[in-house]
Chains A and B, each alone.
Chain A
Amino acid sequence: MFAHIFQEKLEERIKRSNAFFMGEVPDRTPASPMCMGQAAIMHGYTLYDYYTKPDLGIDCIIHASQMLDAEILPMWLYATYWVEDYGGKLKMPVGRMAAPAMIEPACKTFEEADSLEVLDLKELSNGPTMQRHWKALERAEKIMGKYFAPWSFPYEVFIQVAYWIGPEKAVLLVKKDPKLLHRLLKKAVEHCVNVNTLVAERYGSSFIACSSLLTSNTLSREQCIEFNINYMSEMISKSLKNGAGPGIMYHLCGDHRVDWDLHTKVPITPATLMHVAYDGKEPMDIKKVMSVFGDKCAILGNIDTALMQLGTPAEVYDKVKEQVLAAKESPKGYLACNACEIPPFAPVANTYAFVQAVKDYGQLPKA
């Protein structure tokens, strides 16, 4: 059971989140802790419930947003989208698992992957992943009404290849058979464009949430350009032409010390969020992120997820305060956020401390 949603407060939070995209300055920095699976735990559900019942997942996120009085981005998704659609096997979270995980890729051999056909829009729409995604979107639309912003989740072009043949084999192909890898990446672009197009065709637009993960500290800068950045750019450009966007979130998940600044080459719209997570084991210096992306797009904060799990509320509060003061006047906007999803079983007191620090130090001067 969930509490009543207070529409006025919901609207206030959404307007605060969206202000930067409209060229406006909100009253204060949006507090957008990446509270996803944690939202389910807060409401007494399991992660299995959260990931197998997308409509419940959306309820959890939106009500967590209300409980925390925070501008949590209302997106339900998980990192192993599209594994099942091509015949791979997924394990839904049980025990300490934080999220659904791939236990078997779609193809056993390189030859099988090479002959794989990309799902067309109808097949994709009827597949297991999109069926869950539609449920999440429908529930979000019902609760958020005119403020609903549909999202699509192509994730990452390179990762899609990894879901077809397995992560190690995908990385190995960079040296073993780059021509085959390029063929697979072209297919993955087509798949990702279809994902974005599908949502845009139904709703008229689509906030594209995409990522760089597997290529982060795995490949050299040159390899990142050849096998990730170029394909990501192509995927986003084609998706925008097909009506997806204008919202884009680039989530540079994990350690991006090698390639983070290469993302200046990807398409950036007026409604783009750049989210750079880690530099080695520490969050990327937010001032460095601002210096490269600050005048191009809004940036998302990157408070350490390990701190959210292991730190005290006072430690979290201090780190958030420090980052908010450093970044809140970034030219195109700054939204306080974590480097990645808050570990679902992290103390909720730490998430409260996060939000409180943003409220205490995030006041913005009127434009």
Chain B
Amino acid sequence: MNNDAVLEGLKKAVVDGDEETCKDLANKAIESGMDAYEAIMDGCGAGMAVCSELYDKGDIFVPEILMSAEAMYAAMDILKPHIKVEDVGKSKGKIVIGVIEGDLHDIGKNLVKIMLDAAGFEIIDLGRDVPADDFVNTAKNDKVDIVAMSTLMTTTMPGMLDVVRGLRDKDIRENVKVLIGGAPVNEDFVSRIEADAQAEDASKAVKVASRLIEELRG
């Protein structure tokens, strides 16, 4: 099996949510001396990118995405220990992600994390019910490019404003983009709290995050 066939196989297995085939092909990639980073990005990541497009078109829904994610992570668990030293830390950008304080609904955040992970971003996941200070301190200490926050509840939306203010107070607002999401979030709210962008769903989050990184790096 040549490298192209392995990559194509991984891509298809991720789209199909086929965990066993993903594991099998990941092992084959390692055995054949294939570049692990390439297998992750051009095999698994490419598969999730297809899932993202299908989700965007309404051809697949959340259960299919979760199946694909399981398959992808099964392959990545095998491939990651074999990433070359020069590829470690290689990423499209560093993102701290979490659900804002007071809200424990994290399915949406987890879907966004899956998509960003698959697209090659480095993710720091703070989980749910995250205080504003934790976002701000992580942004500063880990020198992240994007702070990504979500909430399902209207009540907890003001917490996002606290994060934006916190970034400003620490004098790092100019170095960090703020991406927000969740059911009650819209463009009007982005303007009100002076965030940078919103993503309507997980599939759009990758495109928006990529654009924000480009803006940041000029």
Interface contact A219-B63, CB-CB below 8 Å: yes
- Is A281 within 8 A of B155, CB to CB? no
User: Are A96 and B61 in contact, CB atoms less than 8 angstroms apart?
Assistant: no
Report the nearest B residue to A345, measured CB to CB: B155
Residue of B nearest to A281 (CB): B186
- Residue in A168, A218, A305 whose beta carbon sits within 8 Å of that of B61 in the complex: A218
- Taking CB atoms, residues of chain A closer than 8 Å to B101 are 95-96
Once the chains bind, are B66 and A172 in contact (CB under 8 Å)? yes
Q: Which residues of A contact B105 (CB under 8 A)?
A: 101
For window 161-214 of chain A, which residues contact chain B by CB distance below 8 Å?
167-168, 171-176
Given contact pairs A96-B156, A218-B62, A344-B155, A172 touches B183 in the complex (Cβ within 8 A): no
| A306 interfacial by beta-carbon distance below 8 Å | yes
Do the beta carbons of A96 and B154 come within 8 Å of each other? Answer: no
In the complex, the chain B residue whose C-beta lies closest to that of A166 is B107
Query: Given that A171-B62, A172-B67, A175-B64 are known contacts, is A254 also in contact with B110, CB under 8 Å in the complex?
Result: no
* Given A223-B61, A306-B184, A343-B153, also A91-B104 (CB < 8 A): yes
Query: Does B37 touch A at the CB level, under 8 Å?
Result: no
Distance in angstroms from A218 CB to nearest chain B CB is: 4
Residues of B190-215 contacting chain A, CB below 8 A: 192, 200
> Could you tell me if B155 and A96 are in contact, using CB atoms closer than 8 angstroms?
yes
Q: Looking at the assembled complex, report how far the CB atom of A153 sits from the nearest CB atom of chain B, in whole angstroms.
A: 19
Q: CB-nearest residue of chain A relative to B159?
A: A96
**How many residues on the A side are at the interface (Cβ–Cβ under 8 A)?**
34
A172 with B63: CB separation less than 8 A: yes
Given A97-B103, A167-B107, does the pair A309, B66 have CB atoms closer than 8 Å?
Answer: no
**Which residues of A270-324 are within 8 A (CB) of B?**
278, 281, 305-306, 308-310
> Please, which residue of chain A has its CB at the minimum distance from the CB of B69?
A172
Q: Are B67 and A219 in contact (CB under 8 A)?
A: no
A172 vs B192: C-alpha distance in the bound complex, in angstroms? 36
B-side interface size class: 20 to 34
Indicate if the CB atoms of B104 and A98 lie closer than 8 Å.
no
**Looking at the complex, which one of A101, A219, A305 makes contact with B104 (CB distance below 8 Å)?**
A101
The answer, among B60, B63, B104, B189, for a CB contact under 8 Å with A310, is B189
Inter-chain contact B155/A175, CB cutoff 8 Å: no
Check A175–B104 contact: CB distance below 8 A: no
Q: Are B183 and A255 in contact (CB under 8 A)?
A: yes
- Please give, as numbers and ranges, the residues of chain A lying within 8 Å of B186 by CB-CB distance: 281, 306
- Whether B89 is near chain A, meaning CB under 8 Å from some CB there, is no
List the B residue with the shortest CB-CB distance to A181. B63
* Residues on B with beta carbons closer than 8 Å to the beta carbon of A343: 153-155
Chain B residues closer than 8 Å to A95, beta-carbon distance:
101-102
Which residues of B sit under 8 angstroms from A172, Cβ to Cβ?
Answer: 63, 66-67, 70
> Closest B-chain residue to A101, C-beta based?
B104
Minimal beta-carbon separation of B205 from chain A (angstroms): 15
Nearest residue, chain A, Cβ from B153: A98
Are A98 and B63 in contact, CB atoms less than 8 angstroms apart? no
Please indicate the chain A residues that have their CB under 8 angstroms from the CB of B155 in the complex: 96-98, 309, 343-345
The residue that A309 contacts in the complex, of B62, B67, B154, with Cβ under 8 A, is B154
The distance from the CB of A339 to the nearest CB of chain B, in whole angstroms, is 10
Q: Quick one: CB contact mask for A217-237 with B, threshold 8 Å, 1 for yes?
A: 011100100000000000000
A103 at the interface (CB under 8 A from B): yes
Q: What sequence of 0s and 1s flags, for each residue 155-197 of chain B, a beta carbon within 8 Å of any chain A beta carbon?
A: 1111100000000000000000000000110101100100000
Kindly provide the distance from the CB of A313 to the nearest chain B CB, expressed in whole angstroms.
17
Q: Do A219 and B183 have beta carbons less than 8 Å apart?
A: no
Is A96 a contact partner of B102 (Cβ separation < 8 A)? yes
Which residues of A in the span 333-365 have a Cβ within 8 Å of any Cβ on B?
343-346
Q: Would you call A102 an interface residue if the criterion is a C-beta within 8 Å of the partner chain's C-beta atoms?
A: yes
The residues of B that contact A103 with a CB separation of less than 8 Å are 104
Tell me which residues across on chain B come within 8 A of A168, comparing CB atoms.
Answer: 66, 107, 110
- With a cutoff of 8 Å between Cβ atoms, the chain B residues found around residue A102 in the complex are 104
Q: Mark A225-260, 1 if CB is under 8 A from B, else 0.
A: 000000000000000000000000000001100000
What mask results when residues 102 to 144 of chain B are scored 1 for a CB within 8 Å of chain A, else 0? Answer: 1111010010000000000000000001000000000000000
Q: How far is the CB of A258 from chain B (nearest CB, A)?
A: 8
- When A97-B102, A255-B183 are in contact, do A219 and B61 touch as well, CB less than 8 Å? yes
Question: Given A98-B154, A171-B107, A223-B61, 19 other A-B contacts at CB below 8 A?
Answer: A96-B156, A97-B102, A97-B155, A98-B155, A98-B156, A172-B70, A175-B17, A176-B67, A219-B62, A281-B186, A305-B184, A306-B154, A306-B184, A306-B186, A309-B154, A309-B157, A310-B157, A343-B154, A344-B155
List the 3 shortest-distance A-B pairs measured between CB atoms, nearest first: A96-B102, A174-B63, A98-B155
